[in-house]
Amino acid sequence: MLLIKGGDLYSPKHVGIRDLLISQGVEKIGTHLDMDCEVIDAEGKLVTPGLIDRHIHVIGGGGEGGFLTQSSRVEPLDLIQGGLTSVVGLLGTDGITRNVDNLVAYAKALKEYGFSVYCMTGSYGYPPVTLTGSVGKDIVFIDEILGCKLALSDHRSSHISYDELLRLASEVRTAGMIGKKVGCLTLHMGDEPYGLDQVFEILKKTSVPVKTFQPTHISRNEKLFEQACEFAKQGGTIDLTCDDPERTAQALEKAMERKVPWDKITISSDGQGSWSQYDKAGNLIKIGTSPVDSIYKQIKYLCQKKSMEFEKALALGTINVATALELYPKKGSLKEHSDADLLIWNRDLSLDTVIAKGKVLMRSGSPVE
């Protein structure tokens, strides 16, 4: 047991000064709690749920410029310093030299460290790479796997047909129902002009629910962004890659102007994935790696540079993500019976303490060995 005393609690809604008694989960929230156990004094600090990164390349990404451009895996320290207690690992462009077997194996390793780790089967291509030979079986039988990843509207994608996309969406949806998981398609969105056209056609012609499709990188061009805003107004969840704080802040401002429901927007890092630029002939001219701590930095930027309310910014990396992935209320919130994933922030929004399922991973700004 661990007692956190006197912190200003955001659940992520602002609750006020509270004590939290935790083990692997949140046992009790109240005032003036007393227990014969270890105590962390959080007076003068903020207590929030841990951050959730729904799109992170835990075994590395990249490779578009050859083997030397493959990025390395995410280390536990990277997650701790980014305030991440839960992550969703996935493959990127390269579903050839990297596979779902390695992804799930490393997810299990990170879980032993204390983090909550989930995965998406598949990569950019179609048919998807899988662990069991079947997308449906991966989702139903592999605990960590929540759904499938696929690339759309991208020159590196398989340019899946309408019928193929519909069949895959239906398989993912059904497997999610059987496995009691969200069963979603994480859609890497590229720059090609048809954007989300196929998704809108499926939603118009069939009864596949909108929650099945969860597009990311939606601010990469104006047409895609406008489509994504309309998609969110229809009840879908859209994800912004927050590797550039100002650009992401501007996209959020535009989304608010278009009256996109705030709870339908999430942010993710694309951490250890590659960003790349190409010339008109399709030649790679620049490649780099996305940082892992982007969500934490984005929340801090929104509050300190854009004067956004803390609980509103916090929701983008906590409750909104957990709800979209059907992990709420265990994840994304601090209430009795939720998992004890939490952060203690100093008033300047620097991180003081990181706790994952009751295990202290950072204390007083320093990782715990």
Report the C-alpha gap between 101 and 103 in whole angstroms: 5
Closest by alpha carbon to 117, among 149, 177, 81, 74? Answer: 74
Question: Amino acid identity of 186?
Answer: T
Determine contact, residues 116/341, Cβ cutoff 8 Å: yes
* CA distances from residue 43 to 9, 16, 363, 367 in whole angstroms, order as listed: 11, 11, 14, 20
> Which one from 19, 154, 239, 270 is the annotated catalytic residue?
270
What DSSP character marks residue 28? E
Bridge partners (DSSP) listed for residue 38: 2
Task: Read off φ and ψ for residue 161, nearest 5 degrees.
Answer: -80, 165
138 is annotated as an active-site residue: no
Sign of the torsion formed by the C-alpha atoms of 146, 166, 96 and 269: negative
Joined tokens for residue 262 = 């705030």
Phi-psi region of 90 (alpha: psi -120 to 50; beta: other; left: phi over 0): beta
**Residues forming the active site:** 270
